[in-house]
């Protein structure tokens, strides 16, 4: 599959081959589901924690004698029945991460990119170099490329001017071809690749 290459002003500069085989059938749907679930699980901090009976502050002294007071029997102020007492089966810190094999992650990303390519949601630019780290200049490039909504920009390497110019723009995320994941691919409205970034993604997804 070939895609048109644009410059910063939206003018066509030829075509480029995608570089990896698109998935045309239903294969990869489960892989996409597994990758998205694993990504969302990894975002959970897992720091919820509640003190149990042995961890709350208190004493082992019996609050009152067993019989003769007319009140219910009580052996400790740390009981889960008391205000300030321990929590029964409360949450403890844990890791929510889920393991997804490398081949499954690759299949999921290839499936997601295949669907976005077939939907016409991928834009390829020759380069995204900016002369100055000004947001106004960056917004001009977005306007020339007719980009709106949630946009993920993928570059081949770190660019200080581009990073500074784009960091305050809402609904725009700057990343690299090495870091692109299935969740980002599906979440955004448009994927904008530089030619070099597309080549790096194609290298990740190639069967060779």
Strands 190-194 and 151-155 turn out to be parallel
Q: Are 170 and 146 in contact (CB under 8 A)?
A: no
| Confidence at residue 208, expressed as pLDDT on a 0 to 100 scale | 47
Under the phi-then-psi rule, with left for phi > 0, alpha for psi from -120 to 50, and beta for the rest, what region is 171?
A: left
Per-residue model confidence as pLDDT tens digits over 124-158: 998 888 888 999 999 998 888 888 889 999 998 88
Strands 12-17 and 172-176 turn out to be unpaired
What value does the CA radius of gyration of the chain take, rounded to a whole number of Å? 27
Per-residue model confidence as pLDDT tens digits over 13-25: 888 888 888 888 8
| Confidence at residue 2, expressed as pLDDT on a 0 to 100 scale | 85
Q: Please report, for residues 36, 112, 168, the alpha-carbon distance to residue 26 in angstroms, rounded to integers and kept in the order given.
A: 17, 11, 38
Residues of the chain with pLDDT under 70: 207-208
Q: How far apart are CA 36 and CA 25, in angstroms?
A: 20
> What's the token pair of residue 50?
């509640």
Which domains occur in the chain, in start order? 2-32+100-205 (3.40.1370.10), 45-95 (no CATH)
| Confidence at residue 207, expressed as pLDDT on a 0 to 100 scale | 58
Angle at 123 (CA atoms; ends 103, 13), nearest 5 degrees? 120
| Confidence at residue 7, expressed as pLDDT on a 0 to 100 scale | 84
| Confidence at residue 164, expressed as pLDDT on a 0 to 100 scale | 92
Q: Are 195 and 16 in contact (CB under 8 A)?
A: yes
Neighbours of 165 (CB within 10 A): 22
């Amino acid at each position: 599959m070939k895609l048109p290459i644009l410059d910063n002003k939206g003018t066509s500069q030829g075509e480029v081959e995608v570089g990896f085989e698109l998935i045309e059938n239903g294969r990869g749907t489960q892989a996409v589901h597994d990758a998205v679930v694993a990504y969302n699980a990894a975002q959970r901090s897992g720091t919820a924690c509640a003190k149990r009976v042995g961890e709350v502050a208190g004493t082992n002294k019996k609050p009152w004698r067993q019989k003769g007071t007319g009140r219910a029997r009580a052996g400790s102020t740390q009981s889960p029945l008391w205000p300030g007492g321990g929590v029964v089966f409360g949450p403890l810190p844990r890791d929510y991460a889920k393991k997804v094999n490398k081949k499954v992650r690759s299949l999921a990303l290839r499936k997601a990119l295949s669907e976005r390519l077939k939907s016409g949601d991928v834009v390829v630019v020759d380069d995204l170099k900016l002369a100055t780290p000004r947001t106004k200049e960056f917004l001009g490039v977005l306007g020339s490329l007719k980009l709106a909504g949630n946009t993920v920009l993928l570059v081949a390497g770190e660019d200080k001017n581009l990073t500074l110019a784009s960091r305050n723009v809402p609904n725009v995320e700057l990343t690299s071809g090495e870091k692109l994941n299935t969740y980002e691919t599906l979440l955004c409205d448009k994927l904008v690749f530089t030619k070099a970034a597309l080549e790096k993604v194609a290298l990740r997804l190639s069967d060779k």
